[in-house]
Structure 1
Amino acid sequence: MTKINILPNIAFFDSSQGGLTVWENVLKRFPNLNTQYLGDNARCPYGNKSQETITRYASEATLYLASRNALLLIIACGTASSVAAKELQHLFKLPIIGIVEGFCKFVASLLQDKTRTVAVLGTKFTVRSNRFNEELGANGVEKVWARACPLFVPLVEEGISQGPMVDAACDMYLWDIPEDTKVVMLACTHYPRLTLPIAESLERRLGKTVIYKSIDGDWVLKLGSKEQNDPIYLVESSLPIVNFVEQFIVSNQYENILNHGEKQVLCTDSPEQFESIARFFTSIPLPKVEAVEIQT
């Protein structure tokens, strides 16, 4: 593969545009960071594919981004993180982080009573992989309730983040969430665009206040109808990723070589369509989206 003259950067990879939610939050903390983002929209979604296929796709993306001077790769995809991150960490010298380990450790730190339920909302393959259950258990969480929400991604990618269809989908997936749930994890990077309808569905089901924990602080999304001081925390994966990036930059003394503000956004199919959908995931102006071909 031809070496390309690109500034040292931190790379992000997702099956499509959802990982831009992670990219955006990292850039909120480090606005001058050199970054490249690759969305494999030609082969999206990953959530209904086999473990072997997902790992192959993620390996090809890793090799491609490594050839473009990446110093760190963030797998900003819940499915690929659940399925392929550990294997990629063994295969490549490039430092690689997925959203699972740090996310689970962060959530466990929120859970003072480890007997309370943590709910995980993700794709079919994320839930079937059991990776979140394993990592949460390793961090002392005793009860995990996982639910696949396959309608969420296509709704978001159609630009539908509120209204009757979204409300119906949320109620369908959350109707039997346990009464003692304390934390709800958004284990897919598309799902932060549905935080409000998810919070409203949780309140309809459990009657409790829902607090969204984000890089911008804690936000009350929905006040509970029950008079009790026992809120539910709704959490997405960006905050632990942002903290990891900060530690990575400082520990490797990369402050001076990563601060030119170079941003590149790549996709594997139809950059115009990619960009039209991307606006639902980030408020940061995108550079011109470039279509690239990943060698297989």
Structure 2
Amino acid sequence: MQHKGPIGVFDSGYGGLTVFKEIYKRLPQYEYVYLGDNARVPYGNRSFETVYEYTKECVFKLFEQGCNLVILACNTASAKALRSIQQQDLPAGKKVLGVIRPTTENIHLFTKSNKVGILATQGTVLSNSYKMEISKMHPEIEVFQQACPFWVPLVENNEIHGEGAHFFVKKDIEELLAKSPDMDTLVLACTHYPLLLPLIEQYTPPHIHILAQGDLVAKSLVDYFKRHPEVEQACSKGNSLKFFTTDDPLDFEQKANIFFGKPIKAEKLEVVRGI
């Protein structure tokens, strides 16, 4: 009989906390373990092989913590590593889910023009994961992408109200919208980007729907548990939260408050020797 364990939530840094916050809001009864690989952030500009190896190491570290289910609350890891881990590496009884499918499954509910824009890291854009997934599920939808390489550093350095944030958010949104005048939906395809939402709204025409992922992922997990009761039953209940980082716990605690919305306590977890 499978031992019950907490739900693991992984991100390359802090951004996954915006997704975790929504999951916890909807499903507070479970035990959770969050791991941020802050020592090796950012993942967005790294190769497929590197992101796969880093993600796999962190996922297996969460398995060691007793997790039977791990959510990759990171678009880059979901784009570059999820499929390989699911197909090649999963031990019996373990599951790993990502954040791309819940978004792409539901995108048709938000667009009327069938013209959708993706704002993402360079790695997610180059993977073409959103284009491929949306094309498979909704071939009538045309997808336009824009890499936003400065947005994550702006968020992680708490510069979201500075002149640089205004400049780069305005520039990237204008470049994306120039690709199609009929675009009516924008997907924030990075878990950091909801922190920039007030700026994004400021530079986006009001008729365009802006889609953050947290609530979609949380709703999708509720539905997944209904369809897979055996996975739900392997998740322990207890309304408890543990936070780990591969870097400085004090720094993580300070910045996590911005993303998670309330103070947390963190511990350092070595994923590989020296990290």
Measured after TM superposition, the shift of residue 33 of structure 1 is 2.0
Structure 1 partner of 2:208:
232
Q: Please say if residues 12 and 75 of structure 1, whose CA atoms lie closer than 8 Å, have aligned partners that are also in contact.
A: yes
Q: Which amino acid aligns with 2:151?
A: F
Is 1:242 matched up with 2:239? no
**What are the within-5 Å matches in structure 2 for residues 114-263 of structure 1?**
114=114, 117-140=115-138, 141-176=140-175, 177=177, 178-203=180-205, 209=206, 231-250=207-226, 251-252=228-229, 254=232, 258-263=236-241
Cα 1:58/1:47, change in 2 over 3 Å: same
Mark the CA change 1:161 to 1:255 in structure 2 (over 3 Å): closer, same or farther: farther
Deviations 1:186-216 (A, max 9, x none): 000000001110111113xxxxx1xxxxxxx
Query: Which residue, 265, 271, 279 being the options, matches 2:257?
Result: 279
The count of aligned residue pairs is: 262
Deviation at 1:257?
5.8
C-alpha distance in 2 between matches for 1:200 and 1:179? 18
The Cα shift of 1:247 comes to 2.8
| Unmatched 5+ stretches in structure 2 | none
Question: What is the match of residue 73 of structure 1?
Answer: 70
The match for 1:87 among 84, 87, 108 is 84
1-structure distance, mates of 2:106, 2:141: 15
Alignment gaps of 5+ in structure 1: 1-5, 204-208, 210-230
What is the CA distance between 1:108 and its match in structure 2? 2.3
1:45 counterpart = 2:45: no
TM-score, with length taken from structure 1: 0.84
Q: What is the aligned counterpart of 1:291 among 239, 246, 268?
A: 268
**Of 88-97 and 147-156, the range deviating more from structure 2:** 88-97
Greater CA drift, 19-28 or 103-112: 103-112
Counterpart contact for 1:15–1:43, Cα < 8 Å: yes
Higher helix proportion: 2
Q: Secondary structure at the match of 2:39?
A: coil
Residues 109, 291 of structure 1: CA spacing in aligned structure 2 closer, same or farther, 3 A cutoff? same
Task: Report the Cα distance in structure 1 between the residues aligned to 2:156 and 2:272, rounded to whole angstroms.
Answer: 26
Instruction: Choose between structure 1 and 2 for higher RCO, CA contacts under 8 A separated by at least 6 residues.
Output: 2
Partner AA of 1:54 in structure 2: V
Pairing 1:59–2:56 present: yes
What TM-score do you get using the length of structure 2 for normalisation? 0.90
Q: Tell me the CA shift for residue 256 of structure 1.
A: 9.7
Distance change (3 Å), C-alpha of 1:68 and 1:233: same
**Secondary structure of 1:126 counterpart:** helix
Tell me how far 1:242 sits from its aligned partner. Answer: 0.8
2:33 to 31, 36, 53: 36
Letter matched to residue 78 of structure 1: N
Alignment partners' CA distance in 1, 2:188 and 2:209:
11
